[in-house]
Amino acid sequence: MSEHNLPPGDDVMLIGEAMTGGYGGGPDILHDCTIAVSKGEIAVIVGPNGAGKSTAMKAVFGMLSLRQGQVRLNGQDITALSPQARVRQGMGFVPQNNNIFPSMTVEENLEMGAFIRDDDYRATMDQVFTLFPILRDKRRQPAGELSGGQRQQVAVGRALMTRPSVLMLDAPTAGVSPIVMDELFDRIIEVARTGISILMVEQNARQALEIADKGYVLVQGRNRYTDTGQALLADPEVRKSFLGG
């Protein structure tokens, strides 16, 4: 299985193509790395620790400088845009850490997500509450008082308030229980069904590939395997090297 056997289709929503680069003036962490996600698709980046998974996602979001390669959103070259400008173009990003305002209520956190909008965002907030009913119940509570899984729902909900075409999640299930992980993945599937593209970095590789339309296995900042989630789960090499047998 080669790294190029899934050419991006015509409906590709976001692609970081042949990305090479690192942080500041430091050494390159990514080497000719390509990550793409199509409309309404879930694409998952997995690989060993230090493989450059989060770095690849941050590169797509404009948080490090590329020496080579480009990033395109809906056919438009956005390589030169800042992360803030990318949000205005339709990218939502949920970092792994510090992704909520703990002293603000749930509702205030969601309102912070609507900062780029000058229209009435209440309908979007209702959609978030429908997706995450527990947040409606706790909307007046400080977000810092919620459980880890509920805080992740707040973080995802806040990103959805910008009405993104692509939602990027950096290790959304880190540190939560298996039950909460399953619930979060169910919600992520529901978001994708609304037509939003999901690009996700995950430590729980096996579970993430089970819900993925497409999977990228990175090793040392390079594409090692690219295929459908199911094909990667079934591949003996991938299983042995990256999924614990």
Average pLDDT over residues 192-212: 95
DSSP lists the bridge partners of residue 225 as 217
Is 8 a residue whose pLDDT tops 80? no
Quick one: tokens of 87? 């949000």
Domain borders along the chain are: 1-88+201-235
Convert the pLDDT of each residue in 140-159 to its tens digit: 999 999 999 999 999 999 99
Query: Which residues are within 8 A (CB) of 119 and not within 5 positions of it... i.e. 6 or more apart?
Result: none
Q: What is the pTM of this model?
A: 0.92
pLDDT of res. 175: 87
- CATH number for 1-88+201-235 (one of 3.30.70.20, 1.10.3720.10, 3.40.50.300, 1.20.1250.20): it is 3.40.50.300
Is 193 a residue whose pLDDT tops 60? yes
Convert the pLDDT of each residue in 149-192 to its tens digit: 999 999 999 999 999 999 999 999 998 899 999 999 999 999 99
Convert the pLDDT of each residue in 87-120 to its tens digit: 999 999 999 888 999 999 999 999 999 988 889 9
> Where does the chain have alpha helices with state H?
53-60, 83-89, 106-113, 122-131, 133-137, 148-160, 178-193, 205-211, 229-234, 236-242
Mean of pLDDT over the chain: 93
